[in-house]
Amino acid sequence: MSETSHYLCIGCPLGCRLEVDTQGDEILEVRGNACKRGDTFARQEHVDPRRFVTTTVAIEGAPWPRLPVATAGSVPKHVMREVCEALHGLRLEAPVELGQVVLPDALGTGIDVVATRSMERR
């Protein structure tokens, strides 16, 4: 007997409501997606939901108190909170270059967290 799971596509502002029919571990059909990206998202979301993390980290010696950072790739959704907590405890020192790794291999995910802008020394 098949089951249907429901997801909201986050690929664009349209926010298509997706339905994934499964039987055991097999995905039978994806519906509700207005484009191919939605199909890909639904299949990924069903077996291994992932998200990019974007936030800010404290920085000293810079013109601004916080530096914007992001994961260089998506991380498993269930570790997002722990990644944010690890970043919350970081204290960077200016200068920092765009793309500089500020947290390598975040929580063993294999994904680095990098600076999304440069920040010079004050």
User: What is the contact surface with ligand SF4 in residues (CB under 6 A)?
Assistant: 9, 11-12, 14-16, 33-35, 37-38
Q: Indicate the residue among 46 and 95 with the shorter CB distance to ligand SF4.
A: 46
- State phi, psi for 118 to the nearest 5 degrees: -85, 155
Residue 40 Cβ vs ligand SF4, minimum distance, rounded to whole Å: 9
Query: Cβ neighbours of residue 8 under 8 Å, at least 6 residues apart?
Result: 15, 16, 17, 18
Q: Indicate the residue among 8 and 101 with the shorter CB distance to ligand SF4.
A: 8
Amino acid at 89: G
Give the residue nearest to ligand SF4 (CB): 38
Q: Indicate the residue among 32 and 76 with the shorter CB distance to ligand SF4.
A: 32
Alpha-helix residue ranges (DSSP H) falling in the chain: 36-47, 80-88
